[in-house]
Structure 1
Amino acid sequence: MTTVSKPLGVAQTEPRAQATTPSRSLAFDYQMMILGTVMLFGVFLDGWAHNHGRVDDSFFTPWHAVLYGGYALAGGRLVLAQFVNVGRGYKWLRALPPGYILSLLGVIIFGGAGIVDMIWHETFGFEENLEALLSPSHLLLMTGALLIMTGPLRAAWLDATPYRQRGWRFLLPAIMSVTSVFALLSFFLAYAYFTEDLTYLVGIRPGGSRGIVDAMGIMGLLVPPMLLTACILFLRRRWRLPFGTVTLMLCLTVLLMTWLSLDATYEFLLAVPMLMAGLVGDVLLWRYNSPQRLAWLRLMAFGAPFAIILLYLITIQQFSGQFLWWEIHMWLGAPVLAGVLGYLLSFVAYPPAMPPNAATD
């Protein structure tokens, strides 16, 4: 990603044939955002069907149709833009707006992975449970999907539009791209996600394997907020994010993950603590508006993960009809550990200033 596009709204004065690449189009970003979201929904719809016994031993299912239909639409839109711009005089490898050539590569990878996946199923049979999340053909599909979905993010990142154009209208495609990354990685890490299996936390405590079960419960609590914090810090390195970004990313992903493995209607009540935790993150992120107020960003990196886990544990304790078997050492320690890890992530994204003339190699 080395080419920086012209600011939105600035007229292109040189002839099209002499321009390096087409200028960024916000309308095109929104189109790709919507088509990427359709692909993401297709992934979760297929996962829901597998989790609820709605599939048979066939590659050709209505659930696959939504996923591959979204892929076909996204790929078709990219290919159309490619040929139209080549016809306008742009070179083949520079015919798409900045950031989208990797999305076109993702179309090729996803299409090839779909063929590999069909052959894989015919050769080795259909995966079950954890196998499906670790299948090489499925991970290749994930790679292609991520490249397609992150086109609007790369386009926005390379855009030189002044900061006055930084609200929801201009940043929504980029924010939804990163949300898709967060959600898709959450899907493939479902075995380490707090919505996957509440028996790690509540009910009758197991006997001999209690240490392994407790470890699984802790990892399921730590992974989601770490993914979210990393995504938010990444976005904040580039933009001052509109209020509500943390809440949108968290609530949308957790609702999808809850729907994926829904066993009881009360699990949708998780939207309430996630909304509260998201607002905690948004308020703290809003307070950070200059390098002199970096402490607020670090507080967000601690406070959002802490709130996510603590409010989640309180919710399942109150509404699941069962009780946490953890003592206070664990049920309060897990949110604190998540906060500490998030706090440390903030130093990766925003390291302390180095002394003048300090050696860097």
Structure 2
Amino acid sequence: MVGTAVPALRAGMRRDLVTQLLGIWLLLAVFLDGWAHLHVPGLETFFTPWHAALYSGLLAMAAWLASLIWRNREPGQPLARAIPAGYRGTVAGVVLFALAGVLDLLWHEILGIEVSLDALVSPTHLLLGFSLFLILGTGVRSARAGSGRDAFAWTPPALLSVALMTGLGAFFLIYCSAFVRAAPALPYLPTPIGSPGHSQAELPAAIGMASYLVTTALIIVPFLYTCSRTQRPPRGIVTLLVAVVAWLPIAMSGFRPAALAGAAGATVAAVVADVALARAAGRMTGRRLPGVSALLVALLWTGQLVGIALVSGIGWPVSMWLGAIVLSSAVAAGLAFASSWNFRSPHIPEASHP
């Protein structure tokens, strides 16, 4: 019929999975390049093995996308119509990544190679990160395109997509990662306000406390997103999120004993949380979600602190490490409350809401 929109073809779960596996290649290459910036002195050229790993991953992704579009093409139809549902953002991400790569080359040739925090906030690197975010989100977009308005199935590619996007966030926020810093392992001497050296003494602990809040948000936001359409979190989602938020940044920054022990403790706690969530009855949305989120975060950080205590001991006073758990739980509950503010399940009659 003239004027009727033709729905885009779906790639299918197997092809989505191949796309996300190529996304793993890209994300690991990003962390490998980050490791090189931290551990290889005198890195003063754009042309490195680590950049080669990243850009070869882009070429592989571009070739895979081209093959998908070529298979879907129809004679007499625009080539854009052959792009699978949910993949337009992927194509835009690949094009933007290539453009950002050229700009990054020019940036490095003119201004040099960043070697510290400036590498994470460089405009060209942030543009590369945004384009990667578009690419890594393919699995979620494809799954949403194939679902009804109220129904949504978390396929393995979609879950992998969420994990990869979260891992990318962990990369760009590694400077305030509670797993990398393991701040409670450091000694802390309370210094009265106004006394000499107060700012210097308080700064590491203040940054450590802030890192708990940022890392909490990095874990709980994708967790809440996975609950937003299915009313229950997918199985294993907490362990998956902790794995990418904790272990990838630790591998990039260095395997310090306190950080390793904390990540191990949090991972064990994540497994326990996933088992408890799988056995819990009822929905995990609406009024229950803030409490569930707060308990989840409290369990994760308790596990981390137990791991740190067993290996190196806790240097923070009880008021600080317990306060970190309480504040983080409050942040999680607040984010959950905000995410469910206007939530109404399609299975609950309107009259059942007060």
TM range (shorter): 0.7 to 0.9
Equivalences for 1:4-15 in 2 at 5 Å?
Answer: none
Equivalences for 1:1-361 in 2 at 5 Å?
Answer: 19-53=6-40, 56-87=43-74, 90-160=77-147, 166=153, 171-198=155-182, 201-203=185-187, 207-208=197-198, 209-239=200-230, 240-265=232-257, 267-286=259-278, 290-291=282-283, 294-320=286-312, 323-351=313-341
> Which residue of the partner structure matches residue 4 of structure 1?
none
1:210 shift after superposition: 1.8
CA distance in 1, matches of 2:273, 2:7: 40
Contact 1:133-1:188 at 8 Å conserved across structures = yes
Q: TM-score, normalised by structure 2?
A: 0.85
> Which residue of the partner structure matches residue 3 of structure 1?
none
CA distance in 2, matches of 1:234, 1:115: 34
1:109 shift after superposition: 0.6
Structure 2 residue matching 1:196: 3-state secondary structure: helix
Which amino acid is the alignment partner of residue 328 of structure 1?
V
Identity of counterpart residues, as a percentage?
A: 30
Contact 2:100-2:128 at 8 Å conserved across structures = yes
- Structure 2's unaligned 5+ residue stretches are 192-196, 345-349
Contact 1:244-1:282 at 8 Å conserved across structures = yes
CA distance in 2, matches of 1:198, 1:38: 28
Which amino acid is the alignment partner of residue 223 of structure 2?
I
1:85 shift after superposition: 2.1
CA distance in 2, matches of 1:339, 1:31: 37
Distance 1:176 1:54, change over 3 A: farther
Contact 1:21-1:98 at 8 Å conserved across structures = yes
CA distance in 1, matches of 2:138, 2:100: 19
> Which residue of the partner structure matches residue 194 of structure 2?
none
Q: TM-score, normalised by structure 1?
A: 0.84
CA distance in 1, matches of 2:39, 2:306: 27
CA distance in 1, matches of 2:205, 2:285: 38
1:309 shift after superposition: 1.9
Which amino acid is the alignment partner of residue 120 of structure 1?
W
Which amino acid is the alignment partner of residue 95 of structure 2?
I
1:268 shift after superposition: 3.0
Distance 1:104 1:47, change over 3 A: same
- Structure 1 stretch displaced more, 198-207 or 224-233: 198-207
Distance 1:165 1:182, change over 3 A: closer
> Which residue of the partner structure matches residue 347 of structure 2?
none
Distance 1:164 1:122, change over 3 A: closer
Distance 1:220 1:175, change over 3 A: same
Which amino acid is the alignment partner of residue 180 of structure 2?
E
- Structure 1's unaligned 5+ residue stretches are 1-13
Contact 1:288-1:294 at 8 Å conserved across structures = no
Contact 1:44-1:260 at 8 Å conserved across structures = yes
Distance 1:283 1:300, change over 3 A: farther
CA distance in 1, matches of 2:148, 2:42: 47
Query: How far does the alpha carbon of each residue in 1:238-276 deviate from its partner, in whole angstroms, 9 at most, with x for none?
Result: 234432111122123311111111143564333431223
1:68 shift after superposition: 1.1
